[in-house]
């Protein structure tokens, strides 16, 4: 007997939890400021997160285009954008040329923005905020005002990061990993801004994570037992736990790096540190390895923060569009829990080359191989779910289907990096870049696009245009692969990352006769990648236009256009403040598609067990 | 619209929302301080033998502060119990005590910080090292006065546990004889960097907790009249945070003062 059902006798449970004046609240107009800017409604906050994160993704993409130009054409002025850059950033972009310092800034900020201001807020905060309370049948998040504060901290963190481009010396230059002592030795204030921005973003994640966990544990509707939760909710729960527990050590590290910067401590500065050929004059005794440990203690779980919500989204969309239950729901749930746990003990596989010792390397190599098992289980379950299904092809489904092989490539190419011996060769090459971009860009990002196309009708009451959605998909799919596939080749041939001139000084053209130089064919790939990236940018135009056009002009649809079973589709469209007209009650698992003997091929979670086939699909039976 | 379980307990989880929220928050706090403590362990284990300081703290003040925080934990608990049994007058009394104890803690902390920051290590041109509290450092004079001692080797300043009663005198040092001078701030060495960072962050937590408790004690007490159950929950949640901050001190005290 499940406790959640037991505590709500159907006879009077609804009255007991009928929110006082919920209908009044639903029609109450809070005005522009309270309604859209300082809203505590989870749906508005989800949209705020989503829009802000999409803008940051676009901005991070532009940084990347500029870097790709510099890599392919080192020292040449950027066409079109060059004069603008010089006007905005001044000296570092003199003559419209991206200086090596500016390249370093762009590199550090591209990583920071894409991870902390783009993907995480979109995957976790935006989708989580909008969808999770609806999926579990809650009226809102457990702490609506904390939720608002979470977005505000995120926004402020983003502003600090953006402002840092315009301070003297520009933004942080030490890579998104900000390794000390490099990060402390660069004599500009960019790193300080980075740290302050990160502390704000960490605060935002912390508030969000507490809120999500409390919401999922406390606000599940009556009957929504743990094994009836949609997989997306499980993924978000585990993600929230990772954020809750992995981010604070980075905050601790950020505090210590700030002390190194401001109070001239030596947490990460070793004895006898010399900068620019001179003794740095620090007390010393610090450990650069300490920073790396603390950074990657967040950094690696962060990878799962990026990927788990994406897997959740893909799972929902596959279930809806295969019209059959997800294969191995329980395996998925236990796998995601296992990933959540294991993600905390794999971090040092980023540090094989630091000289931390072979025993430690061996340990982390073992855990890294172990964590690939639950990841493969999840991917396999999703793949097998397609077997024998009458698959409905639409834009969200195309993106979800593409996610599977793309994430597969990203994951499998990670194995040589997880092994100590092969990583020694591949470490810090373009191979690594190709690997993690396959996980995050055509992997996570495709799932996020799928999610946008999938839930757009719930948010606006209209579908996005299908033709332009497919144009967006095929353009993205082709050019994404053209951008990242050549990088594997470049990396295997030994091209290092983070070089402002794209490795020209190691090329056969510049140092003929030296051994193991980069051949011209490998250098030539830079140009290909540049134009593939530009084309990838152009392929996003249909999405942007489609997105805004469809808000007003898309095809009008009802509450449940995909005929899905989960609760968010049983709510009114768009869901009003407080979400459900009547508090829902849950009678079944999340993926009851094509149940034999049922008159429709989907059975919503809130449809009662005893319901006659003629029963209308009302959100909740009122006894 | 009303969020369920803001005040009453959800039967199957046995907890109300805010209590779960604060426990989750404290879990992340454990990881935050855990990161800093692991830095302590790594830096201490990695330090050159014989360079890690011992006995640099005023144990009497530290012990006093430990007792102060322990007492504040008791008053915090009693304040919550008073709310539970409906004795609002007692609540006000006990939390007034908590706030006073918190203020006492912070004052003692300031005294300790001052002792460190006013302590100078001065390398003299004759190879000696003078070490002690700055008494007078007037830029108009060509000398300064400290109360402390002179040693010939830096290692004599590392382990002070056995030198508690080393003879201290007040003496002048001509500025022309000073090679390098540095006070015992966080920049001085890793031990002090950890000391200032850890206790500073802890003091910020004390301050934050005091503000919350001060709010409940002051303007926030209006809620008692309209919704005593909810008010009691707030007192409980803020109390949980306070106990956590006390607990952090219980770890900080031996790690920084006694070893």
Total number of domains in chain B: 2
User: Do B68 and B105 form a contact (C-beta atoms < 8 A)?
Assistant: yes
How many Å lie between the alpha carbon of A405 and the closest alpha carbon of chain B? 35
pLDDT at A152: 97
Chain B CB contacts of A6 under 8 Å are 11-12
Domain, as residue range, for B127: 120-183
What is the residue whose two structure tokens read 């009957």?
A: A223
pLDDT of B239 > 70? The answer is yes
Q: Rounded CA gap, B117 and A343, in Å?
A: 42
pLDDT of B243 > 70? The answer is yes
End residue of a domain, out of B151, B183, B215: B183
**A26 close to B (CB below 8 A):** yes
User: Do B47 and B158 form a contact (C-beta atoms < 8 A)?
Assistant: no
* pTM over the 0.95 mark: no
Task: Characterize the bridge pairing of strands A555-556 and A462-463.
Answer: antiparallel
Q: Residue A247 and residue B28: Cβ atoms within 8 Å?
A: yes
Q: Averaged over A20-33, what is the pLDDT?
A: 57
Contacts 24+ apart (CB under 8 A), B111-118: B111/B61, B112/B57, B112/B58, B112/B61, B112/B62, B113/B196, B115/B58, B116/B183, B116/B184, B116/B185, B116/B192, B116/B195, B116/B196, B117/B183, B117/B184, B117/B185, B118/B183
| Interface contacts A/B by beta carbons within 8 Å | 156
End residue of a domain, out of B168, B183, B198: B183
A499: left (phi over 0), alpha (psi -120 to 50) or beta: beta
How many Å lie between the alpha carbon of A74 and the closest alpha carbon of chain B? 41
Chain B CB contacts of A259 under 8 Å are 186, 193, 196-197
pLDDT at A28: 60
pLDDT at A5: 37
Q: Rounded CA gap, A144 and B6, in Å?
A: 11
Structure tokens at B86: 């409906």
What is the residue whose two structure tokens read 């330090």?
A: B47
Q: Residue A287 and residue B46: Cβ atoms within 8 Å?
A: yes
DSSP letter for each residue of B128-181: -EEEEEEEE--TTSSEEEEEEEEESSGGGGTB-GGGTT---EEEEEEGGGEEEE
Q: Averaged over A526-551, what is the pLDDT?
A: 97
Nearest to A25 among B1, B42, B47 (CB): B1
H/E segment holding residue A278:
strand A278-279
pLDDT at A494: 92
Q: Rounded CA gap, A12 and A9, in Å?
A: 6
Q: What is the pLDDT of residues A290-323, one digit of tens each?
A: 999 999 999 999 999 999 999 999 999 999 999 9
Chain A residue closest in CA terms to B42: A290
Domain spans in chain A, listed from the N-terminal domain onward: 39-224
Interface test with A, best of B3, B51, B181 (most A CBs within 10 A): B3
DSSP letter for each residue of B10-37: BTTTTB-HHHHHHHHHHHHHHHHHHHHH
Structure tokens at A583: 């508090």
Examine residue B7 and state whether it is found in any structural domain, yes or no. Answer: no
Nearest to A4 among B2, B12, B20 (CB): B12
Instruction: Let me know whether B194 and B228 are in one domain.
Output: yes
Examine residue B11 and state whether it is found in any structural domain, yes or no. Answer: no
Nearest to A245 among B28, B39, B193 (CB): B28
User: Do B35 and A253 form a contact (C-beta atoms < 8 A)?
Assistant: yes
**A279 close to B (CB below 8 A):** no
Q: What is the pLDDT of residues A363-415, one digit of tens each?
A: 999 999 999 999 999 999 999 999 999 999 999 999 999 999 999 999 999 99
Q: What is the pLDDT of residues A141-176, one digit of tens each?
A: 999 999 999 999 999 999 999 999 999 989 999 999
B136: left (phi over 0), alpha (psi -120 to 50) or beta: beta
Instruction: Let me know whether B133 and B151 are in one domain.
Output: yes
Instruction: Let me know whether B200 and B175 are in one domain.
Output: no
How many Å lie between the alpha carbon of B195 and the closest alpha carbon of chain A? 11
Average pLDDT score over chain B = 95
* Contacting residues for A373 by C-beta, under 8 A, at least 6 apart: A338
Instruction: Let me know whether B96 and B24 are in one domain.
Output: yes
Nearest to A249 among B10, B31, B189 (CB): B31
What is the CA B83 to chain-centroid distance, rounded? 29
Q: What is the pLDDT of residues A415-453, one digit of tens each?
A: 999 999 999 999 999 999 999 999 999 999 999 999 999
Instruction: Let me know whether B251 and B149 are in one domain.
Output: no
Interface test with B, best of A198, A265, A571 (most B CBs within 10 A): A265
Give residue A610's pLDDT band: very low, low, confident or very high (50, 70, 90): low
The CA-CA-CA angle for residues A188, A193, A196, to 5°, reads 145
Examine residue B75 and state whether it is found in any structural domain, yes or no. Answer: yes
Chain B CB contacts of A209 under 8 Å are 24, 28
Q: Averaged over A205-212, what is the pLDDT?
A: 97
Q: Averaged over A603-614, what is the pLDDT?
A: 75
Q: Rounded CA gap, B205 and B222, in Å?
A: 25
DSSP code of A268? S
Q: Rounded CA gap, A389 and A562, in Å?
A: 16
H-state helical runs in A343-445: 358-385, 395-412, 415-418, 420-426, 430-439
Instruction: Let me know whether B111 and B219 are in one domain.
Output: yes
Instruction: Let me know whether B110 and B192 are in one domain.
Output: yes
DSSP code of B51? -
Instruction: Let me know whether B144 and B66 are in one domain.
Output: no
Binding-face residues of B in 35-64 toward A, CB within 8 A: 35-36, 38-39, 42-43, 46-48, 51
In angstroms, how far is the first alpha carbon of chain B from the final one? 55
A 10 A CB-CB count for A251 gives 24
Examine residue B204 and state whether it is found in any structural domain, yes or no. Answer: yes
Give residue A620's pLDDT band: very low, low, confident or very high (50, 70, 90): low
Q: Which residues of B176-190 are buried (b: 16+ CB within 10 A; e: fewer)?
A: eebeebeebbbbbbb
Q: Cis before residue A208, ω within 30 degrees of 0?
A: no
pLDDT at B71: 98
**B187 close to A (CB below 8 A):** yes
Separation in Å, CA A343 to CA A385, B123, B229: 26, 49, 40
More confident residue, A277 or A221: A221
Average pLDDT score over chain A = 92
How many Å lie between the alpha carbon of B133 and the closest alpha carbon of chain A? 21
Binding-face residues of B in 127-186 toward A, CB within 8 A: 185-186
Examine residue B6 and state whether it is found in any structural domain, yes or no. Answer: no
Structure tokens at A540: 């996003």
Angle between helices A288-322 and A127-136 in degrees, nearest 10: 50
pLDDT of A14 > 80? The answer is no
Chain B CB contacts of A271 under 8 Å are 48
Q: Looking at this predicted complex, what is its ipTM?
A: 0.95
A 10 A CB-CB count for A569 gives 24
Separation in Å, CA A524 to CA A62, A519, A521, A608: 22, 9, 5, 63
Q: What is the pLDDT of residues A468-501, one digit of tens each?
A: 999 999 999 999 999 999 999 999 999 999 999 9
How many Å lie between the alpha carbon of A567 and the closest alpha carbon of chain B? 18
Q: Averaged over A311-340, what is the pLDDT?
A: 97
pLDDT at A26: 45
Give residue B2's pLDDT band: very low, low, confident or very high (50, 70, 90): confident
Interface test with A, best of B5, B7, B10, B12 (most A CBs within 10 A): B12
pLDDT at A23: 43
Chain B CB contacts of A286 under 8 Å are 43, 190
pLDDT of B172 > 70? The answer is yes
Chain A residue closest in CA terms to B16: A218
H/E segment holding residue B119:
strand B119-124
Angle between helices A100-112 and A190-218 in degrees, nearest 10: 10
User: In chain B, how long is the greatest CA-to-CA distance?
Assistant: 78
Structure tokens at A38: 């300082």
Instruction: Let me know whether B207 and B239 are in one domain.
Output: yes
Give residue A361's pLDDT band: very low, low, confident or very high (50, 70, 90): very high
């Amino acid at each position: 007997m499940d406790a959640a059902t037991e505590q709500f006798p159907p006879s009077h449970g609804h009255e007991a939890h009928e929110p006082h004046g919920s209908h009044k609240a639903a029609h109450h107009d809070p005005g522009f400021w309270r309604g859209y800017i300082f809203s505590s409604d989870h749906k508005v906050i989800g949209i705020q997160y989503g829009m802000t994160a999409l803008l940051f993704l676009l901005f991070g993409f532009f940084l990347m285009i500029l870097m790709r130009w510099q890599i392919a054409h080192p020292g040449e002025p950027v066409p079109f954008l060059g004069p603008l850059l010089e006007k905005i950033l001044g000296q570092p972009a003199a003559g419209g040329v991206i200086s090596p310092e500016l390249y370093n800034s762009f590199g550090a900020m591209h990583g920071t923005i894409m991870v902390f201001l783009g993907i995480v807020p979109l995957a976790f905060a935006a989708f989580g905020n909008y969808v999770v309370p609806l999926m579990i049948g809650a009226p809102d998040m457990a702490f609506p005002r904390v939720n608002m504060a979470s977005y505000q901290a995120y926004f402020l963190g983003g502003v600090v990061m953006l402002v840092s481009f315009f301070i003297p010396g520009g933004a942080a230059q030490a890579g998104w990993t900000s390794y000390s002592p490099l990060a402390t030795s660069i004599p500009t204030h960019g790193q300080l801004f980075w740290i302050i921005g990160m502390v704000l973003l960490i605060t935002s994640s912390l508030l969000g994570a507490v809120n999500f966990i409390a919401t999922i544990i406390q606000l599940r509707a009556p009957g929504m037992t743990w094994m009836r939760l949609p997989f997306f909710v499980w993924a978000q729960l585990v993600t929230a736990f990772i954020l809750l527990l992995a981010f604070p050590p980075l905050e601790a590290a950020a505090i210590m790096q700030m002390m190194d910067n401001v109070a001239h401590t030596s947490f990460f500065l070793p004895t006898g540190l010399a900068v620019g050929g001179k003794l740095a004059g620090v007390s010393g005794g610090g450990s650069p390895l300490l920073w790396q440990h603390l950074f990657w203690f967040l950094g690696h779980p962060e990878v799962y923060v990026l990927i788990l919500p994406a897997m959740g989204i893909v799972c929902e969309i596959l279930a809806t569009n295969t019209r059959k239950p997800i294969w191995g729901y329980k395996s998925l749930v236990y796998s995601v829990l296992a990933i959540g746990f294991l993600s905390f003990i794999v971090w040092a596989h980023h540090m094989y080359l630091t000289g931390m010792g072979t025993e430690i390397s061996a340990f982390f190599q073992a855990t890294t191989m172990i964590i690939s098992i639950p990841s493969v289980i999840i991917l396999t379950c999703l793949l097998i779910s397609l077997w024998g299904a009458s698959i409905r092809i639409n834009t969200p489904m195309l993106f979800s289907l593409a996610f599977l092989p793309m994430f597969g490539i990203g994951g499998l190419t990670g194995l040589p990096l997880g092994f100590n011996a092969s990583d020694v060769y591949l470490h810090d090459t373009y191979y690594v870049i190709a690997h993690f971009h396959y996980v995050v860009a055509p992997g996570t990002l495709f799932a996020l696009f799928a999610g946008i196309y999938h839930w757009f009708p719930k948010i606006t009451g209209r579908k996005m245009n299908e033709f332009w959605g497919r144009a967006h998909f095929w353009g993205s799919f082709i050019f994404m692969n053209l951008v990242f596939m050549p990088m594997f080749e470049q990396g295997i041939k030994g091209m290092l990352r983070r070089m402002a001139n794209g490795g020209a000084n190691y090329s056969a053209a510049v140092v003929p006769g030296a051994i193991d130089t980069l051949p011209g064919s490998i250098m030539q790939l830079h140009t290909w990648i540049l134009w593939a990236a530009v084309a990838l940018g152009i392929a996003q135009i249909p999405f942007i236009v489609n997105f805004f056009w469809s808000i007003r002009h898309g095809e009008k649809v009802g509450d449940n256009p995909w005929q899905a079973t989960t609760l968010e589709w049983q709510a009114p469209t768009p869901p009003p403040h407080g979400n459900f007209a009547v508090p829902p009650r849950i009678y079944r698992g999340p993926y009851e598609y094509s149940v034999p003997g049922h008159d429709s091929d989907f059975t919503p979670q809130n449809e009662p067990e005893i319901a006659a086939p003629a029963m209308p699909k009302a959100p909740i039976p009122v006894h | 619209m009303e969020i369920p379980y803001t005040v009453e307990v959800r039967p199957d989880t046995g907890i109300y929302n805010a209590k779960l929220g604060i426990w989750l928050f404290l879990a992340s706090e454990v990881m935050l301080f855990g990161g800093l403590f692991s830095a302590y362990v790594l830096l201490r284990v990695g330090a050159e033998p014989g360079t890690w300081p011992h006995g640099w703290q005023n144990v009497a003040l530290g012990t006093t502060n430990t007792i102060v925080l322990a007492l504040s934990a008791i008053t915090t608990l009693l304040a919550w119990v008073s709310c539970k049994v409906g004795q609002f007058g007692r609540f006000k009394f006990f939390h007034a005590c908590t706030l006073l104890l918190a203020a006492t803690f912070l004052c003692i902390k300031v005294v300790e910080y001052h002792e460190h920051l006013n302590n100078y290590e001065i390398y003299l041109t004759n190879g000696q090292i003078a070490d002690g509290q700055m008494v007078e450092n007037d830029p108009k004079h060509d000398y300064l006065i400290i109360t402390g001692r002179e040693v010939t080797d830096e290692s004599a300043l590392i382990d002070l546990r056995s030198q508690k009663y080393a003879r201290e005198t007040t003496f002048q040092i001509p500025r022309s004889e000073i090679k390098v001078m540095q006070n015992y701030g966080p920049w001085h060495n890793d031990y002090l960097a950890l000391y200032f960072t850890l206790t500073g962050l802890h003091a910020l937590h004390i301050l934050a907790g005091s503000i919350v408790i001060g709010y409940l004690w002051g303007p926030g007490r209006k809620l008692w009249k309209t919704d005593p159950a909810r008010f009691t929950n707030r007192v409980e949640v803020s109390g949980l945070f306070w106990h956590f901050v006390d607990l952090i001190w219980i770890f900080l005290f031996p790690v920084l003062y006694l070893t």
